Chains A and B, each alone.
Chain A
Amino acid sequence: MAQYSFWREKWRLISEGLFRDTPPFFLVIGLCPALAVTTAAINGVIMGIAVTFVLMGAEVIISLLRKWIPRTIRIPVYVIIIAVLVTVIDLVLAGTVPAIHRVLGIFVPLIVVNCIILGRVEAFAAHNTPANAAADALGYGLGYMWALVAIGSIREILGNGTWFGLQIFPEGLPTVDLFKLAPGAFVTMAAVLAALNVIRRRRAPTSEKNAAIPVVSRNAAA
């Protein structure tokens, strides 16, 4: 029985980042890389792996050390741990996928200042057990990955006619180059956020819907 509730607890933590607070859709943080590297879906996967690795490492290490890190200097300590992990993944990516590493450019070292990492470390890992911190990191890391892949897919399909390099639209069909450029990133993100707003409002429980109705008519109905 204990085993069962252990995994259920972990799944609850993972699903929180994966579905409920997924950055940058439901929590608007970590926008810079989400706009900059999402010209193709595959970039989202690699960037997602990098962020998940750093988040996982930082949350577990800081959770293990949480009783020994003095409160007053905790932020510099966190930043050093994160920066070391980022250096590791930066060198690994440069060695394994050099072409994509070049496309991601300075956004890999810039994971150091990504609000998601420092935010989760400060809000969660600093007060929780390593196992819970790992679950939290997995949820937020993979959540960020699917978000990046979603935006990358939209931009790659509309801007290039391909998805993960596979031809989706027939060869001769014109593509909208704008989606590969900077304005396309902003517009795609705006459209996705607006669509999610609509979906969430539809799904909202009836009590919330009623709240939007003017007070007078609600009283009349009662």
Chain B
Amino acid sequence: MGELIMLFVGAALVNNFLLSRFLGICPFLGVTRELKSALSMGGAVTFVMLVTGLVVWPLQHYVLDPLGLGFLQTVAFILIIAVLVQLLEMFIRKMSPALYEAFGIYLPLITTNCAILGLALLVVGEGFTLAQTLIFALGSAAGYTLAMLMMAGIRQEMEFADVPQAFQGTAISLLIAGLMALAFLGFGGLNVA
């Protein structure tokens, strides 16, 4: 149990998907203009990450490995993720219009979000068990959402700041991300990863 908690903390803080692994940077800069959209994107990523972990793990261990088709990993994973996201979108639209309103519109964007395929490749590469995979997905998603919310909070305040002309736009966001990454570097002292 303690080991799983460590795994969660390690995935969420020490090896944060955005600030340490550089996975899923596009929405990090694209949809962090306000807190609400950042939260929705975080919710959508959490949802898809969990389902991806749940699907990819059996696919690798019960289909690709026994058949010796390890080299088809990339092709198989991207296809399964694309199908999965499409099904999830249809399912959510039918089942819960409110939920669809909240983050359904972000779902199509997620197929090409490298955080999802990255998660799939990481859990298989690390040789996790199914329980570890789920905890890792949960931790990564929590860390992702946390970083998205922090970025959105800072950028909302930035609306009133007088940014030097050269840094306006993407540059200032990257600088903020750099400072956040510096702070997150301190979590390395937790010694859990």
| A binding-site residues for B, Cβ under 8 Å | 28-29, 31-33, 35-36, 76, 79-80, 83-84, 86-87, 90-91, 106, 109-110, 112-115, 118, 178, 181-187, 189-191, 193-195, 197-198, 201
Contacts and interface: CB of A to CB of B under 8 A. Distances in A.
Contacts, number: 116
B59 interface: no
Contacts of A79: 78-79, 82
B181 A115 contact: no
B175 interface: yes
A113 B125 CA distance: 18
Per DSSP, chain A at the interface is helix
Given A35-B25, A106-B121, A182 B19 contact: yes
A196 to B, nearest CB: 9
A80 B81 CA distance: 12
Q: What interface size band does chain B fall in?
A: 35 or more
A28 B22 contact: no
B26 A193 contact: no
Contact of B75 (A80, A113, A118): A80
B73 A183 contact: no
A106 B118 contact: yes
16 contacts: A32-B22, A36-B22, A83-B74, A83-B78, A106-B122, A106-B125, A181-B181, A183-B181, A183-B185, A184-B178, A185-B178, A186-B175, A190-B167, A190-B172, A197-B165, A197-B167
